């Protein structure tokens, strides 16, 4: 029988931050007003995030200023100064480019860090945890599931603009915050190690999922092969382009790309693919009823059109030719990583229930099989959007 396990050592090792402690932490940053309330934000699988509201003076109405406090997971990100330096480079560059050509970038803006009182980009607490604060964009919204094609189109334009905006940064100046992050060879090695160790005695429960991985492993080396043959340009890429990493305003105009921890040298295929994985799924990433999981072709068409309208002319033919494949690739590799973490006892991704990572993996594999059935249509849509 499956054991009951909700252990999550990356997180369990660190004490739960109390409200008092969090308020004290916020005061170490150059914020306006007095921090009043700290609310955990349950989104994202890696860092701990809190919304901080402030008041101007005790007893008055809350000031409009709000902040995002985050503890950066240093079990996963091993070079926090390098990571924060990347964020400084990327946000600085993007905001300069927007200011230089506001007409081209509409209402887009860059994330803004709040320095510590000493002027540093992050604070290290006595326990060795790393904290940072961003300005929270008032009234901003994000979507785990995309409610309509207008939003998908707008999201495609937003990640396209991000691609164009970060193109002036020399990828070589960026720290590799997670080495070999989307390297399928490495991810498959980790998976085989997990199967071999079978630490939690879970391997016997997932024969279908193992089959799904192995059957497709060869094809999934395509991007690595193109990189090794120098056929794909190295670009500054986001590498975690979940649709909910786009912030929208109340009018549903995209205004900001967030979650910059994995901005690194990469290929545009990672960014297009992950946005399709998350932005066209008719269900949540961890939906337990797999019948609900499929690819919404209307959303795919709208996202692709938005993305290619803004970034299309900067892409090479080989990149364009592999955009449809990239959606399958990212769905596969993220499913593979969820499954590997399940087999290893849920040490990487934050889970909210037993079997959560397995559910996430199954959902990715269902989505992948839906994409496979619709490959030709996806390819045709991309060709048409480019033309
Ligand atoms: C993680 O924390 P979050 O949700 O932004 C992961 C991504 C995965 C994603 C799957 C550093 O991102 O690679 O695509 O979960 N980030 C890291 O939902 O591993
Ligand atoms: Mg992330």
Convert the pLDDT of each residue in 236-282 to its tens digit.
999 999 999 999 999 999 999 999 999 999 999 999 999 999 999 99
Last residue of a domain, one of 78, 110, 135: 135
Which ligand 1 atom sits closest to the C-alpha of 334?
Answer: 14
Q: Is 14 exposed, middle or buried (0-12, 13-18, 19+ CB in 10 A)?
A: middle
Which ligand 1 atom sits closest to the C-alpha of 44?
Answer: 4
Same domain, 84 and 165: no
Q: What pLDDT is stored for residue 180 in this prediction?
A: 98
Ligand 1: residue whose CA is nearest its atom 19: 46
Residue 3 placed within a domain: no
- Mean pLDDT, the chain, rounded, equals 94
Dihedral, 224, 225, 228, 231 alpha carbons, nearest 10: -100
Please give the residue range of the domain that contains residue 326. Answer: 149-386
Asked if residue 16 has pLDDT above 90, the reply is no
Distance (Å) of CA 161 to CA 33, 142, 170, 320:
34, 17, 17, 17
Same domain, 269 and 376: yes
pTM across the whole model: 0.94
Q: Is 273 in the pocket of ligand 1 (CB under 6 A)?
A: no
CB under 5 Å of ion ligand 2: residues:
240, 259
In degrees and rounded to multiples of 5, residue 371 shows phi and psi of: -65, -40
Q: What pLDDT is stored for residue 25 in this prediction?
A: 96
Q: What pLDDT is stored for residue 306 in this prediction?
A: 98
As for how many domains the chain has, the answer is 2
Last residue of a domain, one of 102, 135, 168: 135
**What's the CATH number where 102 sits?**
3.30.200.20
Among 143, 240, 263, 271, name the best residue to mutate to test ligand 1's pocket (greatest count of ligand atoms within 8 A of Cβ).
240
Same domain, 186 and 124: no
66 token code pair: 């709000």
Can you spell out the DSSP letters for 110-126?
---EE-BTTS-S-EE-T
325 token code pair: 């494949």
Distance (Å) of CA 51 to CA 83, 198, 300:
22, 39, 32
Ligand 1: residue whose CA is nearest its atom 3: 44
Same domain, 302 and 363: yes
Ligand 1: residue whose CA is nearest its atom 13: 240
Residue 4 placed within a domain: no
Q: What pLDDT is stored for residue 56 in this prediction?
A: 78
217 token code pair: 């492993």
Among 46, 83, 175, 361, name the best residue to mutate to test ligand 1's pocket (greatest count of ligand atoms within 8 A of Cβ).
46
- How many whole angstroms from its chain centre is CA 126? 29
CA of 22 to the centre of ligand 2 (A): 22
Same domain, 131 and 153: no
Among 71, 331, 349, name the best residue to mutate to test ligand 1's pocket (greatest count of ligand atoms within 8 A of Cβ).
349
Same domain, 37 and 59: yes
Q: What pLDDT is stored for residue 57 in this prediction?
A: 67
In degrees and rounded to multiples of 5, residue 144 shows phi and psi of: -75, -35
Last residue of a domain, one of 89, 110, 135: 135
Q: Is 262 in the pocket of ligand 1 (CB under 6 A)?
A: yes
CA of 43 to the centre of ligand 2 (A): 10
Q: Which residues have C-beta within 8 Å of that of residue 92, sequence separation ≥ 6?
A: 110
Q: Is 335 in the pocket of ligand 1 (CB under 6 A)?
A: no
Partnered with residue 40 across adjacent β-strands are 50
């Amino acid at each position: 029988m499956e054991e009951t396990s909700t252990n999550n050592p990356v997180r369990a090792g660190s004490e739960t931050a109390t409200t008092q402690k969090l308020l004290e932490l916020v005061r170490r940053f150059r914020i306006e007003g007095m921090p009043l309330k700290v609310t955990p934000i349950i989104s994202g699988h890696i860092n701990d995030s809190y919304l901080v509201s402030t008041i101007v003076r005790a007893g008055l109405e809350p000031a409009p200023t709000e902040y995002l406090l985050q503890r950066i997971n240093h079990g996963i990100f091993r070079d926090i100064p390098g990571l924060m330096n990347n964020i400084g480079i990327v946000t600085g560059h993007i905001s300069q480019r927007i200011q230089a050509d506001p007409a081209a970038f509409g209402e887009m803006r860059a994330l803004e860090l709040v320095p510590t009182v000493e002027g540093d980009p992050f604070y290290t607490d006595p326990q060795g945890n790393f904290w940072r604060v961003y300005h929270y964009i008032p009234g901003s919204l994000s979507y785990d599931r995309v409610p309509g094609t207008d939003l998908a189109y707008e999201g495609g334009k937003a990640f396209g603009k991000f691609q164009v905006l970060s193109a002036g940064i020399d990828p070589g100046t960026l720290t590799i915050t997670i080495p070999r992050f989307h390297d399928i060879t490495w991810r498959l090695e980790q998976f085989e190690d997990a199967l071999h160790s079978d630490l939690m005695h879970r391997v016997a429960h997932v024969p279908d999922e193992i089959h799904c991985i192995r059957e497709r492993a060869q094809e999934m080396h395509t991007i690595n092969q193109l990189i090794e043959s120098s056929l794909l340009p190295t670009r500054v890429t986001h590498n975690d382009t979940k649709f909910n990493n786009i912030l929208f305003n109340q009018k549903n105009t995209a205004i900001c790309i967030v979650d910059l921890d994995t901005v690194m040298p990469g290929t545009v295929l990672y960014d297009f693919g992950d946005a399709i994985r998350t932005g066209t799924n008719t269900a949540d990433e961890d939906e337990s009823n797999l019948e609900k999981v499929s690819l919404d072709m209307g959303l795919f068409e709208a996202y692709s059109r938005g993305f290619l309208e803004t970034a299309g002319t900067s892409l090479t033919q080989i990149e364009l030719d592999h955009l449809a494949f990239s959606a399958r690739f990212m769905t596969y590799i993220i499913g593979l990583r969820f499954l590997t973490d399940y087999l290893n006892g849920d040490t990487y991704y934050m889970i909210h229930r037993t079997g959560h990572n397995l559910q996430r993996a199954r959902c990715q594999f269902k989505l992948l099989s839906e994409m496979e059935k619709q490959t030709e249509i996806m390819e045709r849509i991309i060709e048409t959007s480019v033309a």
